[in-house]
């Protein structure tokens, strides 16, 4: 398929981006890596009269680590997450998740900003950012504001970002304890049938905190406080893991599609979450 006609913009700074967004409103979309938006345009699932390419914008591709605070510019690619040794040391779950996204060609171009801002329930980074309690920085004509990842997603492809705003970066605290990102997919490069991000902190043989989120099992990523709470105070034995899985299954709402019926997706979700919890606990 060939996309509908559009006007291509390549501004040199954020002021230029905001000017175009303010002028054209929801007729304009920003382009980061393009792996979500361009296919939708080619399939005529998205009509974008004005396309704003961010490749020329300086200052959006940095990875900053200041003590326990990590800031990722919106144009940081998945390959950047994988290749940055300091980031892998302080937040290894980011590398583990990025390595499971598509293939190397996609990871060289796909950006964290595009992955989280698009609102696609199948993307990997939104659920991971909810697990890590990240904050998204948005810039618009009225200035900048921060939105928690756990409050950002409203429905499939619908987020708290306004039409005239751009996501400029992601901030998170260095995660503590054991971690795991588990993903089941039909083939290499595919979206997840189910994926789970887990962080667990252990003290004196017991879980003192746990954060759990899952991907592609509802029309938004699902952060389950109840699933994490089911592990707290336990030795993360079989009973505790089963309780956490049961809590998550109450929070997800999968629908039948070409990845399988609802019952199959719930089964896969349980298996993947059990694996993720067990692996995170072994690393805690």
pLDDT in tens, 38-73: 888 888 878 889 999 999 999 999 999 999 999 999
* pLDDT beyond 90 at 36: no
| CATH 3.30.43.10 domain range(s) in the chain | 7-53
Angle at 16 between CA 11 and CA 18, to 5 degrees: 125
Q: What is the pLDDT of residues 157-207, one digit of tens each?
A: 999 999 899 999 999 999 999 999 999 999 888 999 999 999 999 999 999
From the list 40, 45, 48, 60, the residue with the least C-alpha distance to 8 is 48
**79 Cβ neighbours under 8 A, 6+ residues apart:** 98, 104, 107, 108
From the list 151, 139, 267, 280, the residue with the least C-alpha distance to 220 is 151
Q: How far apart are CA 272 and CA 206, in angstroms?
A: 22
CATH of 183-283, one of 3.40.640.10, 3.30.390.50, 1.25.40.10, 3.40.630.10: 3.30.390.50
Sequence-ordered alpha helix ranges (H) in the chain: 14-24, 37-42, 78-83, 85-90, 92-98, 104-109, 112-117, 124-131, 149-152, 225-229, 238-251, 262-283
The reported pTM is 0.94
Res 21: pLDDT: 93
Cβ–Cβ < 8 Å for 111, 35: no
Four-residue CA torsion sign, 254, 119, 29, 188: negative
CATH number of 7-53: 3.30.43.10
pLDDT band of residue 146 (cuts 50, 70, 90) is very high
| CATH 3.30.465.10 domain range(s) in the chain | 63-173
| CATH 3.30.390.50 domain range(s) in the chain | 183-283
From the list 80, 146, 74, 82, the residue with the least C-alpha distance to 116 is 74
Res 79: pLDDT: 97
CATH number of 63-173: 3.30.465.10
Res 168: pLDDT: 97
Q: What is the pLDDT of residues 75-111, one digit of tens each?
A: 999 999 999 999 999 999 999 999 999 989 999 999 9
């Amino acid at each position: 398929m060939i996309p509908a006609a559009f006007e291509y913009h390549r501004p040199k700074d954020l002021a230029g981006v905001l000017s175009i967004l303010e002028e054209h409103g929801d007729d304009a979309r920003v382009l980061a890596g393009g792996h979500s938006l361009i296919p939708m345009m080619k399939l005529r699932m998205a009509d974008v009269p004005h396309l704003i390419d961010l490749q020329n914008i300086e200052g959006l591709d940095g990875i900053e680590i200041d003590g326990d605070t990590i800031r990722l510019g919106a144009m940081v690619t998945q390959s950047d997450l994988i290749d940055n040794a300091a980031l892998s040391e302080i937040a290894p779950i980011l590398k583990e998740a990025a390595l499971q996204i598509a293939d190397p060609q996609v990871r060289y171009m796909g950006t964290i900003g595009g992955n989280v801002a698009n609102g696609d329930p199948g993307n990997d980074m939104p659920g991971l950012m909810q697990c890590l309690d990240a904050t998204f920085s948005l810039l618009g004509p009225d200035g900048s504001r921060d939105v928690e990842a756990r409050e950002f997603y409203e429905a499939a492809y619908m987020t708290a970002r306004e039409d005239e705003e751009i996501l400029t970066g992601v901030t998170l605290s260095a995660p503590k304890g054991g971690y795991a990102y588990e993903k089941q997919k039909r083939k290499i490069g595919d979206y997840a049938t189910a994926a789970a991000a887990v962080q667990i902190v252990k003290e004196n043989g017991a879980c003192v905190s746990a954060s759990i989120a899952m991907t592609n099992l509802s029309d938004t990523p699902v952060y389950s406080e109840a699933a994490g709470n089911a592990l707290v105070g336990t030795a993360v034995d079989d009973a505790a893991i089963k309780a956490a899985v049961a809590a998550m299954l109450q929070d997800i709402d999968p629908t039948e599609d070409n990845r399988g019926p609802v019952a199959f997706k719930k089964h896969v979700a349980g298996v993947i979450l059990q694996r993720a919890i067990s692996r995170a606990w072994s690393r805690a």
